[in-house]
Amino acid sequence: MTHEAGIPLGIKFKLLSDTPQDSAAQVVNDVVVGDYRDLDTLRRFAQGCDVITFDHEHVPTEHLRALEADGIPVRPGPDALVHAQDKGVMRARLGELGIPAPRNRIVSSPADVAAFAAEGPAAGDGDGFPVVLKTVRGGYDGKGVWVVRGADDPAAAEPFKAGVPVLAEEKVDFARELAANVVRSPHGQAVAYPVVESVQVDGVCDTVIAPAPGLAEDAAVHAQELALRIAHELGVVGHLAVELFETRDGEVLVNELAMRPHNSGHWTQDGAVTSQFANHLRAVLDLPLGDPRCRAPWTVMGNVLGGDYPDMYSAYLHCMARDPQLKIHMYGKTVKPGRKVGHVNVCGDDLADVRERAAHAAGYLRGTITE
C-alpha cells in the first residue's frame, strides 16, 4: 500500500522481502529475498537506496545503527524506532517524559508477577490479578500478550519461555481504545490525523472508526498533542501510531507505539485527504506533508481476517453490488485463520449505516456472513 502511494509520485522501491510470495513482493519489481535479521543481507540490500523505511519494526536495532554508520539514511532512525521495537524501552522513556501509562514493571519470573500484582492499588484484599504480560520484543496482533488471572494461572509461566524480557502491566479497565496518529518529517513539520476509535476482538484489531465517536474536542486535541509531543521527543520520522486506552473517567493512557503505516490508519486511504501511506513517504523523503483531514463525516475500516474463504470473485460480485461506495483492499496473502488478509473502508454521513456496511463487507469477504 506504501508502493501504491508512491506510484503517482514516480517513487521507485527496492524491497527486502522474506519470501517471493509476500504481499509487497507481488507488486514491487525490484525485490531482494532475504533475512532482515542478517547484517550482510541488509548491507547488500541497502546499496543504491537513497533512504530506508519499514513496514514492520523487527529489523534489529544494532543492524540499523550499522547501516546509519555506513551513511544510509534510515527513517525512522534506530534511536526512535527502538521505542516501537522494545516495549520495555518505550515504557521507561515515556515514564521519564511523564506521559500517562498503565502501571508496569519488567519481571523475570512468575513470583515477580505475583509480587507486582500484590503491590497494585487495586489489590485490596485480593491478589491484585488480572495482570497483562508482554514479551518486550517480537509481538504483533496480540501474539506476545497474555492476560494472567491469578498466581497459578498457567499463562503466568508462558511468556518466560521465549527467553525475551517480560513486561508486566496492570490490566486497564478501559472504556475503549483510541489511536492518535501523527506524521513527522526530518525538518520537523508534523501533522495530526483525527483521533480514531479502534475495536479489538481477541487482541486483534477488528474495526476502526474515524473520528472516534463522542470524543470531546478538547480530549481529541489533548490526544493529538500527546502524540505530537512523543513524535518530537523521540525524533520520529514518518508515521507514528500512538495506541491509547481511554479510561472510564476520560483519561488517556499510552498502550504502545508503532512507527510505520498502521492498521489504525488504514481508513485514511479513502477517508482522509492524504493517506497515511502517502504522508509516511513524504516524511521519509523530507517533502512537505499533506492535509490529514477527513473527506467525510465518518469513515469505518473493517479488517478482513482469514477464515473459511468464499470464492473471492463471487464475494466481490455480492459486496460491490450491495454497496457501490465500498472500498476493498485485499493483500494477496495466503489465508491462515485469524490472519489479517485485507480490509474495507466505507465513508458516509450516518455512522450506524457506515458501520453496518463495513461490518457486512468485512464479514462477507471473510466468509462469516453469507447473505
Ligand X SMILES: Nc1ncnc2c1ncn2[C@@H]1O[C@H](COP(=O)(O)OP(=O)(O)OP(=O)(O)O)[C@@H](O)[C@H]1O
Interacting residues toward ligand X by CB under 6 A: 102, 132, 134, 139-145, 169, 171-172, 177, 200, 203, 243, 255-256
What Cα–Cα distance (Å) separates residue 92 from each residue in 37, 106, 146, 208, 333? 25, 10, 20, 28, 36
What is the spatial distance between Cα 362 and Cα 356, in angstroms, rounded to a whole number? 10
CB of 348 to ligand X, least distance (A): 26
Measured from the CB atom, the residue of 22 and 243 that comes closer to ligand X is 243
Q: Check whether the bond before 100 is cis (ω within 30° of 0).
A: no
CB of 223 to ligand X, least distance (A): 16
Residues 250-279: x where in contact with Mg ion by CB under 5 A, - otherwise, as a string: ------x-----------------------
Q: Which does 145 bind (CB under 5 to 8 A by kind): Mg ion, ligand X, none?
A: ligand X
Provide the Cα torsion 313, 314, 319, 321; round to 10°: 100
Residues 214-253: x where in contact with Mg ion by CB under 5 A, - otherwise, as a string: -----------------------------x----------
Measured from the CB atom, the residue of 318 and 343 that comes closer to Mg ion is 343
What is the spatial distance between Cα 18 and Cα 341, in angstroms, rounded to a whole number? 17
What is the spatial distance between Cα 340 and Cα 317, in angstroms, rounded to a whole number? 21
Measured from the CB atom, the residue of 63 and 137 that comes closer to ligand X is 137
CB of 100 to ligand X, least distance (A): 12
CB of 224 to ligand X, least distance (A): 19
Measured from the CB atom, the residue of 63 and 266 that comes closer to Mg ion is 266
What is the spatial distance between Cα 87 and Cα 135, in angstroms, rounded to a whole number? 8
Q: Which does 144 bind (CB under 5 to 8 A by kind): Mg ion, ligand X, none?
A: ligand X
Q: Which does 60 bind (CB under 5 to 8 A by kind): Mg ion, ligand X, none?
A: none
What is the spatial distance between Cα 106 and Cα 117, in angstroms, rounded to a whole number? 12
Q: Which does 238 bind (CB under 5 to 8 A by kind): Mg ion, ligand X, none?
A: none
The residue count for binding Mg ion (CB under 5 A) is 2
Provide the Cα torsion 328, 56, 221, 290; round to 10°: -70
Measured from the CB atom, the residue of 141 and 158 that comes closer to ligand X is 141
Q: Check whether the bond before 310 is cis (ω within 30° of 0).
A: no
CB of 171 to ligand X, least distance (A): 4
Q: Which does 203 bind (CB under 5 to 8 A by kind): Mg ion, ligand X, none?
A: ligand X
CB of 103 to ligand X, least distance (A): 9
CB of 97 to ligand X, least distance (A): 19
Torsion angles phi and psi, residue 228, rounded to 5: -65, -40
What Cα–Cα distance (Å) separates residue 65 from each residue in 73, 79, 89, 120? 10, 8, 17, 38
167-200 burial code (b ≥16 CB/10 A, e <16): bbbbbbebebbbbbbbbbbbeeebbbbbbbbbee
Measured from the CB atom, the residue of 67 and 133 that comes closer to ligand X is 133
What is the spatial distance between Cα 88 and Cα 4, in angstroms, rounded to a whole number? 34
Measured from the CB atom, the residue of 6 and 88 that comes closer to Mg ion is 88
Q: Which does 171 bind (CB under 5 to 8 A by kind): ligand X, Mg ion, none?
A: ligand X
Q: Which does 108 bind (CB under 5 to 8 A by kind): ligand X, Mg ion, none?
A: none
Stretch 22-41 residues interacting with Mg ion (CB under 5 A): none
Measured from the CB atom, the residue of 72 and 156 that comes closer to ligand X is 156
What is the spatial distance between Cα 92 and Cα 95, in angstroms, rounded to a whole number? 5
Which residues contribute to the site for Mg ion (CB under 5 A)?
A: 243, 256
